[in-house]
Every structure is written in C-alpha cells, then in structure tokens.
C-alpha cells in the first residue's frame, strides 16, 4: 500500500458521511422550497381573484381603462403564481429527487470500504499467524 491509498482510505468514511449529510440537506431544502412556493402561488392566485373582482366592479361602472388595468394585473398575478409553483416543483423534482440516486451511490462506496477493511483485517491476521509460525520454526 502506498501513502496515497492510506490517506484515501482514512478519509473515505468522512467523505461519504459528509456527502450524505449535504445531499439530505439539499433534498430537504428543495422540499421546503416546493411547499413554500405552493403557498406563495396560492396567495398570488388569491390576489389575482381579488384583482379580477376589482376589474369587474370597474367594468360595471364603465371605467374601461381601470378595468383593463386590473384585468391585466390579475392575469399577471395568476401567471406569476403558476410560474412560482412550477419553479418549486422543478427544484424539487430535478434537483432534490435527482440527488437520492447519488445518495445510493455512496452505499456502494461504504460497501467497498467495508470489504477493504475486512480484507485488510484478514491480511493482518494471516500475517501474524505466518510470523508466529516462522518464530516457532526458528525456535525449533
């Protein structure tokens, strides 16, 4: 074993643990973004409904320019709400959900590291046994 392999193997558990923690935090944050964007989108849609009602009131009293203004503001509020909701879903699906596959990659790293440690322990055990046999033969 060379020095680089020793350094790599000593840092491997920290590497996989830190990645798993960071990935889980990102997944949780994207879930929170999706929930909060859904709430904000609902608020924007409510604002759009109120603006639409205000536009219809102005239409009844025949103030066409104000009616058009509130109608456009209502469409803008509703469209922005849709955009915010879609953006939250995109963050969650394409970033948060995607990282769960990367988290499963780290399980194979852990298995590989455990296999290496098991092989190392077997090597040390057999080496000790061999040294003991040499000593026994040397004494005899």
Q: What is the pLDDT of residues 68-98, one digit of tens each?
A: 999 999 999 999 999 999 999 999 888 877 7
The pLDDT of residue 114 is: 87
Say if CB 3 and CB 42 are below 8 A apart: no
For residue 52, count other CB atoms closer than 10 A to its CB: 17
SS3 state of residue 1: coil
Q: How far is CA 55 from CA 71, 87, 96, in A?
A: 6, 28, 40
Within the chain, where are the H helices? 3-60, 64-90, 97-139
Pair of tokens at residue 132: 């003991």
d(CA 47, CA 51): 6
Going from N- to C-terminal start, the domains of the chain cover 3-139
Say if CB 44 and CB 81 are below 8 A apart: yes
The pLDDT of residue 1 is: 55
Ranges under pLDDT 50 in the chain: none
The pLDDT of residue 106 is: 76
> Is the overall model pTM greater than 0.85, yes or no?
no
The pLDDT of residue 80 is: 95
**Long-range Cβ contact pairs of 107-116 (< 8 A, separation 24 or more):** 109/12, 109/15, 109/16, 110/13, 110/16, 113/9, 113/12, 113/13, 113/16, 116/9
């Amino acid at each position: 074993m060379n020095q680089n392999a020793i350094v790599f193997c000593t840092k491997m558990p920290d590497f996989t643990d830190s990645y798993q923690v960071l990935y889980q935090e990102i997944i949780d944050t994207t879930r929170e973004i999706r929930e909060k964007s859904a709430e904000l989108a609902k608020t924007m849609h409510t604002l759009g409904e109120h603006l639409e009602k205000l536009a219809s009131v102005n239409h009844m009293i025949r103030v066409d320019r104000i009616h058009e203004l509130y109608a456009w503001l209502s469409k803008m509020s509703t469209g922005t709400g849709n955009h915010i909701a879609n953006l939250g879903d995109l963050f969650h699906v394409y970033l948060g959900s995607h990282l769960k596959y990367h988290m499963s990659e780290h399980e194979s790293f852990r298995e590989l590291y455990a296999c290496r440690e098991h092989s190392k322990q077997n090597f040390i055990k057999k080496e000790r046994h061999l040294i003991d046999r040499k000593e026994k033969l040397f004494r005899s």
